[in-house]
Amino acid sequence: MRKGIYPGSFDPITNGHLDVLQRAAHLFDHLIIAIARDNAKASLFSIPERVHLVEKAAAALKLSNVQVLPFEGLLVEFARQQSAQAVVRGLRAISDFEFEFQMALMNRKLDPRVETIFLTPREELTYISSRIVKEIARLGGDVTSFVPSNVATALKAKLTEH
């Protein structure tokens, strides 16, 4: 069975992530969306909130082979625990490349059995990032064309909470 892991902060999940997710789901028998618990970045949404948002957004795509799990510690360790052969990362632009290349090589050094596969979203989604979406939402802009509808609603609720 071909098992893949699509890891990230997903704070929050965007339409760009969902595009990569759909592509990855077609490549594997089973795909785990792995939400990183111990990220150095300060997050807007908690882990349970992010898991819920990703689950709801992924369910709307009706992909039967996708599972959402939080993880902490090393990604290669999680991949080993889950018996996954590959990690999927989205590559939007050249600016992503340096960090992604470094991470892929480091993960290979840590565990040579885990391959990294890069997938690119549709070109009209390549400018979307969670960071920019959060900034636009904070400043009162409309994010409905960048994120799934449950995330747009959650962003509005979260930002009026503060």
Query: Would residue 140 be called left, alpha or beta, if left means φ above 0 and alpha means ψ between -120 and 50 degrees?
Result: left
Q: Where do contacts with ligand PNS occur on this chain (CB under 6 A)?
A: 7-9, 36, 39, 74-75, 103, 106-107
Min dist. Cβ of residue 139 to ligand PNS (A)? 22
Nearest CB to ligand PNS, comparing residues 42 and 142: 42
Whether 17 is a known active-site residue: answer yes
Catalytic residue among 50, 92, 134, 158: 92
Compute the radius of gyration of the chain from its Cα atoms. 15
The runs of H, that is alpha helices, within the chain are: 15-27, 47-60, 75-81, 94-110, 130-138, 149-161
Residue number, 8 or 16, with CB nearest to ligand PNS:
8
Residue 130 annotated as catalytic:
yes
Two tokens, residue 87:
């990690």
Q: Catalytic amino acids?
A: 17, 41, 92, 130
